[in-house]
Amino acid sequence: MKKILILTILILGLTTAKSFCAPLISGISTNEINIDTKFKGAQILLFGAKGDAGNIVITVRGPKKNFFVTRKEKIIGIWYNATRLKFENSYSFFSLFSSYKSLEVDEEILHDLELTKDFLQFSNFQKYDEKTKNDFKIELIEEMERRKLYNNTADKVDFLDDTLFKIMLNFPKNIVQGVYTVELYLIKENSLISFQSIPIYVNQVGISAKISEFSHQQEIFYGLVAVILALVVGWITNYIFMRFIGQ
């Protein structure tokens, strides 16, 4: 009932906004996601209205993190970690929506606003050539796509009429906590007409929050506990195998 009331108010507000010809206005059904041990993903409904001609591009960006990409090589039948690149301050989540049939926007705008995954900034300060860095960047993007943290192609923005639009924001179960940002762009003839930003707060709650807090505050002790548990589980598994299967 509460969600229906929120959506009703939102739609009425957007309809009223149309009469004032606001360039771009939008709202979401909720701006908070709580992660617990039973979390299996979340969906958030976004409604919007544009008061001017042009196309809508929407991005959802997760908090920035450092990522490591390792390439393995094989020598004399043995695999080892050969090259390891670190990409700093890269988005942990990226989703793209567009009302374009194909994103026919000037490359300068795409680059400046980081509007597609090809133009996302992946900072690396190691002494490797640009081809190597680009190859590792592609590997990182493909891995993020496999984890459903980046979308493969831009999803379509659904218009209810000439001005009202809606999309469903999907968040997989493996998102990290932090502040996510929904960014809406109204673009006309390769010019940015209007922009709006909406934060979404992703929090860990319950036992998962306590474990996360403990792992950050007591890193050494948490590491020792993890190692001990791994050894105990390994010993028990080996004992069961030798006792009941290995004979």
Q: Is the pLDDT of residue 4 over 80?
A: no
Confidence of residue 213 (pLDDT cuts 50, 70, 90): low
Model pLDDT for residues 161-205, shown as the tens digit of each residue: 888 999 999 999 999 999 999 999 999 888 889 999 999 999 988
Model pLDDT for residues 75-127, shown as the tens digit of each residue: 777 776 778 899 999 999 999 999 887 767 788 888 888 988 888 888 888 88
pLDDT value at position 181? Answer: 96
Model pLDDT for residues 30-45, shown as the tens digit of each residue: 999 999 888 999 999 9
Confidence of residue 71 (pLDDT cuts 50, 70, 90): confident
Find how far residue 225's CA is from the centre of its chain: 31
Would the CA dihedral through 216, 219, 221, 223 be positive or negative?
A: positive
pLDDT value at position 165? Answer: 93
The DSSP line for 144-175 is: HHHTTSB-SSPEEPEESSSSEEEEEEEE-TTP
Distance CA 57, CA 186 (A): 7
The DSSP line for 88-132 is: EEEES-EEEEESSSS----HHHHHHHT-SGGG---B--SS--HHH
Question: Locate tokens 């908070």: which residue?
Answer: 32
Q: What is the pTM of this model?
A: 0.73
> Of residues 102 and 29, which shows the higher confidence score?
29
Q: Is the pLDDT of residue 137 over 80?
A: yes
Residue 188 in contact with residue 17, Cβ under 8 Å? no
Q: How many CA atoms lie within 13 A of 104 on its CB side?
A: 7
Q: Is the pLDDT of residue 227 over 60?
A: yes
Confidence of residue 217 (pLDDT cuts 50, 70, 90): low
